[in-house]
A = this chain, B = another copy of it.
Amino acid sequence: MDLRELQTFRAVAEMGSLTRASDRLHIAQPALSRQIRLLEAELRTALFTRDGRGMRLTPAGEVLLERSAGLMRDVDRMRDDLRSFLGAPTGYVHVGLLPTVSAMVSGAVARRVLHELPAVTLRMSESYSGHLVDWLHRGDLDVAVLYGPSEALHMPTQSLGHESLVAVAASGEHLGNLAEMELSRLLAEPLALPSANHGIRRIIDDAAERAKYPVRVLMEADSFRILVNVAVQGLAVTVLPKSAVRREIEAGTLTTARIVSPALDREVIMAWAGNGPPSVAASAVTSILREEVLSAFGFSGAG
């Protein structure tokens, strides 16, 4: 068993065909056929069934595909760490960001990593909490910025600070010049919110339920950009972290009001995949990411 054979196996398994894998790997099909044959001989187990229309994994093949994934990651990370040993952090780092966080820090993080960690290949993915947590558990992400609470994540986390949520509406509409707005009053406005189980929505629903207020939304949208656009149009009021709409506030297109009775906020945390210590490169990127999040959210230090 060879790392090259394993890589070939994975490509074939993912492509479902020697022909397509040979395109991706830039190796002739017969060579791949031979590698798979040798691998199956060594393991004394059929990894694929050939059905004249491609290659499909046997149960044993499924097992190998699963287990080899972690192995290949470990190898890559070890190689990167050794290369980082003398000189600059080197390697591949995959960061997960929530859309609102991404909007605030992705540009600055990208710029700083490019300048300060030139040997690091950075990948940033933007998605929702549930997905990010899954990816962390699967080891696809090195680090992610999410919203708490951190319990039940079953992985190492660090709190960065608490961020308050504000009601957001087009300037001159709905909110008037109010600096504060009670939750009960907010819930009477026409609302555009994310759908159930998204971070912000859950906070609002929980607070409303505790206070026995009903929540009636005008429309739901699972993208904070859509929500911002809807608010800009003056169609509805939405709820967001204030820093996510800083630009629109400065441009004068949106106004905000702090929500009170109760005050709504959420905890910003960093989370790491639990499998082994982070790579040198991932640690370096994490430092930058932490600094940028703290500064973008106006947090002081550790939360």
Contact = CB atoms under 8 A, between A and B. Distances in A.
Contact of A82 (B64, B70, B86): B64
A60 interface: yes
Contacts of A75: 1, 71
Contacts of A252: none
A87 to B, nearest CB: 8
Nearest to A2: B3
Q: Which of A59, A60, A64, A82 has the largest number of chain B CB atoms within 10 A?
A: A82
A62 to B, nearest CB: 10
6 contacts: A1-B75, A3-B3, A63-B81, A67-B78, A70-B74, A71-B71
Interface of A: 1-4, 42-45, 59-60, 63-64, 67-68, 70-71, 74-75, 78-79, 81-83, 85-87
Given A45-B83, A67-B81, A68-B78, 16 more contacts: A1-B78, A2-B2, A2-B3, A43-B79, A43-B82, A43-B85, A44-B86, A45-B85, A59-B85, A60-B86, A63-B82, A64-B82, A71-B74, A71-B75, A71-B78, A74-B74
A4 B63 CA distance: 23
A123 to B, nearest CB: 21
Contacts of A44: 83, 86-87
Q: Which of A4, A71, A85 has the largest number of chain B CB atoms within 10 A?
A: A85
A65 to B, nearest CB: 11
Contacts of A2: 2-4
A66 to B, nearest CB: 10
A60 B45 contact: no
